[in-house]
Structure 1
Amino acid sequence: MASYVLKRLLAIVALTFGITIVAFLIIRLIPGDPVIAMLGTGAGDKEMILRLREQLGLNRPLPEQYLIWIGQVMRGDFGYSYANQQPVSSLIASSFPATAQLTLAALALSLLFGSAIGIAAAIQRNRAADTAGMALALVCMSIPSFWLGLLLILLFAVIWPVFDVVGGTGLKGLVLPAVTLALGTMGFNARFIRSSVIAALSQQHVVTARAKGLSEPRLFAWHVMRNALLPILTVVGLQIGQLLSGSVIVETVFSRPGIGRLLIQAILAKDYVTVQALIMMIALIYALSNFIVDILYPVLDPRIAR
C-alpha cells in the first residue's frame, strides 16, 4: 500500500510540474504582445510599454521568467491584476467558494439522481422502466447547458418567479445553476451506473450468493454495489474537472460570482495574469481529484495495491 501511494504521489508531483509549465507558456506563446493587448488604447506610449513589460518580467529570458513566477506561486503570489486593480490571489479567494459550492452541489445532484435512475434501469433491465430511464438520460446528456440555463431563467424568473436566478448566492440562488450544471453528467452517470450494475449482477459470486438464499437487499448492498462502485469512482474523479470547466458557462449565464465567470471576464479584459493563474488552478484541482480517487482504489479493492 505504501509503495502504491508513493508512486501516485510522485506521479502527481510530475503532473503538477507539467501543469505549471503549460499554464506559464500558454499565455506567452500566443500571437501578439500581451502588454500591448493589456494597455489597449494606451499602447502607443512606448515608455509605458517598456515599463509594464519590465514590471511583468517579460523582458527576461523564458526560463528565468518561469523560475521567478513559480517561486512567487509557491509563496501564494499569483501576480497583480491590472484590470481589477488588486492581487490575483484576492480575486481567487473571493471567487472560489461560490464555484466550490456550485460544483459540489451539482456533483451531489448528479450522483444522487443518476444513481437512482441507473440502478432502477439495471434492476428492470429490458423493461419499460429501463427504456424510459435511458431515454431520460439521453435527453439530459443532449441538452446544452447554456440553453437549459436560459430556459430555466425564463421559467423561474419571468413566468414563475420562484428562485433567485441572476446573481443569487444563497440557497435559492444555487438551485437552478446546480441543476443546469448537473443535468449532463447526471445522464452520463445513469447510463454508466446501469452498465456497471448489470456487469456486477452477472458475476459468478453474485449468482452463487443468490442461489444460497441471500436476501436481495443484502445481496445488492454487499456484493453488487461494492463491485460496481470502483468504475463509478473513476467517473467521479473525471467529472469534478468537467463540472469545474462547465461552471464557466453556467456562472456566466446566471451572473453568478465564481472562478468561471472571473475567467471569462479576465479573457475579455485581456487580463493575462489572472487567466494564467485560473488555468493553473483549475488544472491542479482536476489532477488532485484524480489523485484522491487513485488513493481510494485500494480501499475498495485491496488487490490493486499489490
Structure 2
Amino acid sequence: MLSYVAGRLAAIVALAFGISGLVFLMLRLIPGDPVMALLGTQAANPEVVERLRRQLGLDESMASQYVTWLGNLFRGDFGYSYGQQRPVSELIAANFPATLQLTVCALFLSVLLGLAIGIVAALKRNRAADTLGMGLALALMSIPSFWLGLLLILLFAVTWPIFDVVGGTGFKGVVLPAVTLALGTVGFNARFIRSSVLSAQTQKHVITARAKGLSRATVFLRHVLRNSLLPILTVVGIQVGNLLSGTVVVETVFSRPGLGRLLVDAILSKDYLTVQAVVLIIAVIYAGANFVVDLCYPLLDPRIARR
C-alpha cells in the first residue's frame, strides 16, 4: 500500500512538471507580447519597451525563464502579476474560496441529480421513465454552459428576480452558477450510474439474495447500490476536474470572482505568471482528487486492499 501511495504521489509530481512545462511553452508560442499589452500607447518607444522587458525577465531565453520560474515556485513564490500589479499568490488566495464554493455546490448537485436520474432509469429499464431520463441526460450533455447560464439569468434574475444577476458569492449568488455548472455533468453521471446499477443487478450474489426472498428494497440497498458506488466514486474524481475547468466559462458569464475568471483575464492580458500558476493549481487539484478517490476504493471494496 505504501509503495502504491508513493507511486501515485510521484505521478502527481511528474504531472505537475509536465503541465508546467507545456503551459509555459504554449503561452510563449501564442501571438502577442505582454510588454506591448502593458505599455499601450507607450509601446512606440523602443527604449521603454526594452527596459520593461528586461525588468520582467522576458529578455532571457525561454529555458532560463522556465528554470527561474521553477526555482521561485519551489520557494512558494508564484511571481508577480503583470496586469494586476499584485503577487500571484495573493490573487489566488483571494479568488480560490469562491471557486471552491462553486465547485463543491455544483459537485453536490451533479452527483445528487445524476444518482436520482440514473437509479430511476435503471430500475425502470426500457420503460417510459428510462426513456425520459436518458433523453433528459442527453439534452443536458448537449447544452453549452454559456448559453444555459444566460438562459437562467434571463429567467430567474430578470424575468423573475429571484436570484442575484451577477457577482454574488452568497446563497442567492451561487445558486444559478452552481446549477449551470452542475447540469453540464448531470447527463454523464446519470448515464454512467444507470449502466453501473444495471451491471450490479446481474451479479450472482444479487440473484442469490433475490432467490432467498429478500425484499427489493433490501436487495437494492445492501447489494446493488453498494456495488455500484465503486465506479460512481471514479466518476466523482473525474467530475472534479471537469467542474474546475467549467468554472472558466461559468464565472465569466456570471461575472463571478474565482480562479476561472482570473484565468480568462490573465490570458487576455498576456499575464504569463498568473496563467501558469492557475493552470498548475487546477491540474494538481484534479490529480489530488483522483488520488483521494483511489485511496477510498478499499473502504467500499476490501478485496482491493488485499491485492
TM-score in same-fold range (> 0.5): yes
Shift of 1:35: 2.9
Distance change in 2, residues 1:280/1:94 (3 Å): same
Residue 32 of structure 1 deviates from its aligned partner by: 4.7
Q: Distance in 1 between matches of 2:115 and 2:167?
A: 30
The reply on whether 1:116 has 2:141 as its aligned counterpart is no
Question: Could you tell me which residue of structure 2 aligns to residue 171 of structure 1?
Answer: 171
Counterpart AA for 1:4: Y
Shift of 1:120: 1.0
Q: Distance in 1 between matches of 2:252 and 2:29?
A: 27
1:10 matched to 2:10: yes
Distance 1:55 1:298 in 2: 53
User: Would you say 1:281 and 2:286 are equivalent positions?
Assistant: no
- Single out whichever of 138-147 and 93-102 deviates more from structure 2: 138-147
Q: How does 1:111-190 map to 2 (within 5 A)?
A: 111-190=111-190
Aligned match of 1:97: 97
TM-score (normalizing by structure 1): 0.94
Deviations 1:177-228 (A, max 9, x none): 1111100211111111001000000111110111112333332222212221
Amino acid at match of 1:265: D
State the AA in 1 paired with 2:270: K
Instruction: Quote the residue 1:261 is aligned against.
Output: 261
Please list every run of 5 or more consecutive structure 1 residues that lacks an aligned counterpart in the other structure: none
Q: Out of 204-213 and 97-106, give the one that drifted further.
A: 204-213
Whole-Å separation in 1 of the counterparts to 2:292 and 2:145: 28
Query: What RMSD, in angstroms, separates the aligned Cα atoms of the two structures?
Result: 1.7
Q: What is aligned with 1:88?
A: 88
The 8 Å contact of residues 19 and 284 in structure 1, kept in 2 or not, is answered as: no
User: 1:30 & 1:295 partners in 2: Cα distance?
Assistant: 39
Contact 1:8–1:294 (CA under 8 A) maintained in structure 2 = no
- Structure 2 partner of 1:211: 211
Does the 8 Å CA contact 1:200/1:224 hold for their aligned counterparts? yes
Instruction: Provide the rounded CA distance (Å) in 2 between the counterparts of 1:62 and 1:270.
Output: 16
Aligned counterpart, 1:222: 222
Q: Report the Cα distance in structure 2 between the residues aligned to 1:3 and 1:191, rounded to whole angstroms.
A: 35
Q: Residue 294 of structure 1 aligns to which amino acid in structure 2?
A: D
Pair 1:262–1:194, CA change in 2 (3 A): same
TM-score using structure 2 length: 0.93
d(CA) in 2 for partners of 1:87 and 1:197? Answer: 49
2:99–2:247: 8 Å Cα contact kept in structure 1?
Answer: yes
Alpha-carbon separation, structure 2, partners of 1:24 and 1:268: 16
Deviation at 1:47, TM superposition (A): 2.6
Identity in percent: 70
Q: Is the 8 A contact 1:38 1:271 kept in 2?
A: no
Structure 2 residue 192 is matched with structure 1 residue 192: yes
Structure 1 residue 27 corresponds to structure 2 residue 20 = no
Q: Deviations over 1:101-144 (max 9, x none)?
A: 01110010000011011111111111111111111111211211
| Distance across 1 between alignment mates of 2:300 and 2:62 | 45
Q: How many residues align?
A: 306
Q: Conserved in 2, the CA contact under 8 Å of 1:78 and 1:89?
A: yes
